[in-house]
Amino acid sequence: MVSLVSVISVALCLILAVHADSGMTTRYWDCCKPSCAWPDKARVSSPVATCNKNDLWPANPDPNESSACGGGTAYTCSNNGPWAVNDNLAYGFAAAKLAGKSETNWCCACYELTFTSTEIAGKKMIVQVTNTGGDLGENHFDLAMPGSGVGWYQDGCASQFPGTWMGNQYGGYNSRNDCYNLPAGMFRDGCFFRFDWFRNAQNPNVEFHEVSCPQAMIDRTKCGRW
Q: What pLDDT, on a 0 to 100 scale, did the predictor assign at position 144?
A: 98
Q: Which domain holds residue 103?
A: 19-221
For residue 18, the model assigns a pLDDT of 58
Residue 140 lies in a domain: yes
Domain CATH number, residue 206: 2.40.40.10
Q: How sure is the predictor about 180, in pLDDT bands with cuts at 50, 70 and 90?
A: very high
pLDDT at residue 10 tops 60: no
Say if 5 falls within a structural domain.
no
pLDDT given at position 61: 81
What proportion of the chain, given as a percentage, has pLDDT over 90? 83
Question: 109-142: buried (b, 16+ CB within 10 Å) or exposed (e) per residue?
Answer: bbbbbbbbebebeebbbbbbbbbbbeebeebbbb
Domain assignment present for residue 4? The answer is no
Query: What average pLDDT does this structure show over 25-44?
Result: 96
Q: What is the pLDDT, as a whole number, of residue 153?
A: 85
Choose, from 21, 30, 87, 142, the residue flagged as catalytic: 30
In the residue annotation, 30 being an active-site residue is answered as yes
